[in-house]
Structure 1
Amino acid sequence: MFVDSGYSQITNDKGYYRFDDLPEGHYRVTEEGQKYWTLLTGAEGANEVTIPWYCPCGNGCPKFISLQNRPKLFRGDETAWAAQEDPGEYRFVDRGNWATYVTYDVGEGPQEYPLFAGQTHLAGYLNVYDDNGKLYVTYQALGTNEDPDTIGDYTVKWTGLKEYHLHVANTADDIPRTPGRGRNAVPGNPIPGQFMNKDSFNPATASSGEIVVDISELNDSIVIAAHAVMEWEGYYTEVFDYAIDLGWQFAWR
């Protein structure tokens, strides 16, 4: 029978705690879970102790019960667009929506365009080449081999692609967009849901694989609108930095 003693302690900055002068009985030591940490379950009975405790060595050593934790891994996602080179380059509209497109000249050979998530975070690449009237496009997540990024309160890596919407046309005005207003209005924001190529992945994938688009009826200079939802995995930055200072090694998927 376990004693519901009501005793509690707060660990110090090194994670240690101590109970002194406990009444006789059989105790189970448990921990209140914290938001940004995951409690690791030890072997059955490893967190139990009977008082009085008799150390096997006979020297009156205290009973050590280790409740191990590791930083909790979180997942999230951000909208991303392929840009020519830098964030915000070749925007569809000057203000408001930050969606971007890229230009490609047929026959120029393989090209790689950055995918920026949340406007400025490099989350992956769009690889493009053409051959015999076909355009071959591949979305690629940045992956876990790159240095961590920071999204809000989290230290993250861009681990996968959750969905994409791709449209290829002669000009930016030929991309599906909201109608402009007024007599001389230009088209507005792009509408990814109306793009010609689309797919989603659950779980997220590192690469879309090659997407083949017929461009035989298009001009030699074309526009590519490449929208994506990129997944990140990461840790609460304050916990991440604390664990790094302690020499921990982190594993992303």
Structure 2
Amino acid sequence: MEQSRILVVDDEERIRRLVRMYLERNGFVVEEAADGIEALHMATSQPYSLIILDLMLPGMDGRDVCSQIRQHLETPIIMLTAAGDEMQRIHGFELGADDYVVKPFSPRELVMRVKALLKRSGEPEHAKVDMQQVLTFPELEIHIDARRVEVAGQEISLTPKEFDLLVYMAQRPDKVFGREELLRDVWNYQFYGDQRTVDTHIKRLREKLGHASEAVSQYIVTVWGVGYKFEVVQ
């Protein structure tokens, strides 16, 4: 069975070595980059299963690296941020990061998050809830096995978390989901973070759907004071 390849990007060699040690103990193949320019070159020139990306990097910071990667690839990205950088984390999600870990962090927690994100991007658990492998709505088709979304006949590019969030809600139309529930079930573990993570992903998802069809973007409905639901508006 082919091993997952992880790219670890951090300008501190101590952190790279620590993360590498724990990942390799868990069977991952690990490569390293020490600055943003090197990271972008490596990420776009060879395939990786997941990228662990520090926010503050020399040459090109993590936000710019994340943004550039997202223009070409949907590789899952975990952002490393300093404690207290809440707005930086929110901006990271807006640029396409799938998760974040706050420094100083537990290497065991990071490995757990890597495994959870790889599991979700490879074979989502919630796909087993419904035997339908293609969800069809007016102007919207979601191909679960292929992890492909078509809006008004146009394929749109979603990050792994955006896709998981859309599938999770679309499989349960009209059900209202609180933010904590979405964090728990879509992120697949106890998520220690700001619930605005959900709001940011919902915003990006609506924008991407809306570029192809304004009507489809309205399928994701805000239930004020509670959360969100998927509703096919006639």
If the TM-score is normalised by the length of the shorter chain, which range does it land in? Answer: under 0.3
Give the TM-score of the pair, scaled to structure 1. Answer: 0.23
Larger helix proportion of the pair: 2
Give the TM-score of the pair, scaled to structure 2. Answer: 0.25
Greater C-alpha Rg: 1
Larger strand proportion of the pair: 1
